[in-house]
Amino acid sequence: MGKYFGTDGIRGRANDTLTLDKAIKIGRYLGAYYGQSGHARILIGKDTRLSSSMFESGLAAGAAASGADVYLLGVCPTPSVSYLIQKEHFSCGIMVSASHNPYYDNGIKLFSPAGKKMDPAVEEAIEATFTGEDELPYAINEAIGRIIDYHDALQLYISWLRETACDLSGMNIALDLANGSAVATAVETLRELGAKLEVIHSEPNGVNINTHCGSTHPEELQELMRKGHYDAGFAFDGDADRLIAVDEDGNLINGDYTLYIVGKALKAKGLLKDDVVVTTVMANLGLYKAFEKCGIHSVQTAVGDKYVYESMEANGYTIGGEQSGHIIFNEYETTGDGLFTALQLLKIMKETGLSLKTLGEELFIYPQLLVNVPVKDKEKALHDPKILAEIAAVEAKLGDEGRILVRPSGTEPLVRVMVEAKTHELCEEYVYQIVDTIRSSNNTL
């Protein structure tokens, strides 16, 4: 990772760590870079946060100034950008979103001509322009690019989603749209498939995205499920590339449950390549034990759907994802897609006649506690002898009935300490054994 670009693009507080001039330079670089082999066409989407239109304008102006034609998709899910890049043969794509972060943050995600996360070498070259080390030429005369309204193209993505789904007549579904990108696609898609919907958090105003709602705060959706008579509930994040489901009793169905349910269904049909599901190191120990019982193997990657997809692509694996709800179906997509994942879960429910609760009931999730510790230097913390010794001591105590994971955040000055154990009390004891050691190292913020 570079100084600015992390595992999922560049992210920061709008007009503080992420500024308009950076957006303009990103646009200028991409327009010039992809214009070397012909006239560049760049697709830009955005979420609903207040600053997204500002960054969209800066990116578009920069790219057009370098000679690219820019197509503005408007408010849309991140996966729709990835899909349309491939279908409509764009030079590259950009999504303006900070995903599940609060409204005052924003981010810029870059996609290659294949609809995949951008090559790190390109991101490194863009970073060089931030410091003035690389001068980019301006297009002049007729070479200046155009900026084109492309909102209607979102229907191509919605049509594709419907083609991959099944008839949902008779299903009663609750949705939490997080006041984010899902407002552009979820209701229309599910209603056209015949579902009856109850929708909450579907009125974005620029500052309410992810605020006490969505995949990171699904409590209101859970309560709605407990009080009503719904077959399933679905909560999206700000840019709708991840999904947290809720069963008929209000229980959370996170990414681990989804991987288990879908992995079993694909294996039963003989469609699970090498009987493997790809997870990150954050997947719950209970998922691996449940996989073993049904003959499914797992491959672990670093945290980030980018790394999950790299493993899937290299080996042809069918499905992979993250506990947070990023699920990738290799046959169909190159990135996570919350709505597509919801449609696949609904298809399995229809085909089996089983509820979400029943489909996931054989999976026991070990209690887990994650604590984020702000630090001055992430690498220093991860190589501190005292901290390493405490980690080893906890690992010895847990044995085969739990695990500990200490890792740096990919986007923030944090060390994340996670413990899984048989009880919540053990999780708390062992997590704070490590956290207290980090805090006593004189390296915390």
Q: Do domains 165-360 and 368-439 have the same CATH topology?
A: no
For range 353-373, the mean pLDDT: 95
Ordered DSSP codes for 397-418: HHTTS-EEEEEE-SSSSEEEEE
Q: Where are the beta strands (DSSP E) in 57-165?
A: 69-75, 92-96, 105-111, 147-149
CA distances (Å), 114 to each of 73, 85, 91, in order? 18, 7, 9
pLDDT at 343 (0 to 100) = 98
| pLDDT band at 400; cut points 50, 70, 90 | confident
Q: In the Cβ-directed half-sphere of 388, how many Cα atoms lie within 13 Å?
A: 7
| Long-range contact pairs involving 132-140 (C-beta distance under 8 Å, separation at least 24) | 134/29, 136/25, 136/28, 136/29, 136/32, 136/66, 137/32, 137/66, 138/65, 138/66, 139/31, 139/35, 139/64, 139/65, 139/66, 139/67
| 8 annotated binding-site participant | no
- Compare 441 and 420 and report the one with higher pLDDT: 420
Dist. CA 72–CA 77, nearest whole Å? 13
Q: Is the pLDDT of residue 94 over 90?
A: yes
- Rounded to whole angstroms, the maximal C-alpha distance in the chain is 70
The topology (CATH level 3) of 368-439 is: TATA-Binding Protein (3.30.310)
pLDDT at 409 (0 to 100) = 86
pLDDT at 134 (0 to 100) = 60
For range 129-134, the mean pLDDT: 75
By CB atoms closer than 10 A (0-12, 13-18, 19+), residue 180 is buried
| 239 annotated binding-site participant | yes
Dist. CA 84–CA 153, nearest whole Å? 8
| pLDDT band at 125; cut points 50, 70, 90 | very high
Q: Is the pLDDT of residue 133 over 70?
A: no
Interacting residues of 224 by C-beta distance below 8 A, sequence separation 6+: 174, 198, 200, 230, 233
Q: In the Cβ-directed half-sphere of 298, how many Cα atoms lie within 13 Å?
A: 26
In eight-state DSSP terms, residue 335 is S
| 91 annotated binding-site participant | no
What are the residue ranges spanned by the domains of the chain? 5-153, 165-360, 368-439
Residues assigned a catalytic role: 99
pLDDT at 66 (0 to 100) = 97
- The whole-model pTM stands at 0.90
Q: Where are the beta strands (DSSP E) in 97-215?
A: 105-111, 147-149, 172-176, 196-200
By CB atoms closer than 10 A (0-12, 13-18, 19+), residue 269 is exposed
148-179: pLDDT as tens digits: 999 999 999 999 999 999 999 999 999 999 99
| 119 annotated binding-site participant | no
CA distances (Å), 245 to each of 164, 224, 235, 242, 288, in order? 19, 13, 6, 10, 20
**Beta carbons of 397 and 430 less than 8 angstroms apart:** yes
For range 36-40, the mean pLDDT: 90
Q: Is the pLDDT of residue 410 over 80?
A: no
Find where tokens 């209970």 sit.
286
SS3 174: strand
Dist. CA 241–CA 237, nearest whole Å? 7
Ordered DSSP codes for 183-200: GGTHHHHHHHTT-EEEEE
Identify the helix (H) or strand (E) that includes residue 82.
helix 78-87
300-357: pLDDT as tens digits: 999 888 899 999 999 999 999 999 999 999 999 999 999 999 999 999 999 999 999 9
- Picking from 121, 153, 154, 136, the residue whose alpha carbon sits closest to that of residue 64 is 136
| pLDDT band at 1; cut points 50, 70, 90 | low
Tell me the CATH class for 165-360: alpha beta
pLDDT at 303 (0 to 100) = 87
For range 22-49, the mean pLDDT: 96
In eight-state DSSP terms, residue 445 is -
Dist. CA 246–CA 252, nearest whole Å? 5
Going across the sheet that includes 327-329, the strands are 297-301, 276-280, 319-321, 327-329
- Computed over every residue of the chain, the mean pLDDT equals 95
Interacting residues of 385 by C-beta distance below 8 A, sequence separation 6+: none
Range 5-153: architecture per CATH = 3-Layer(aba) Sandwich (3.40)
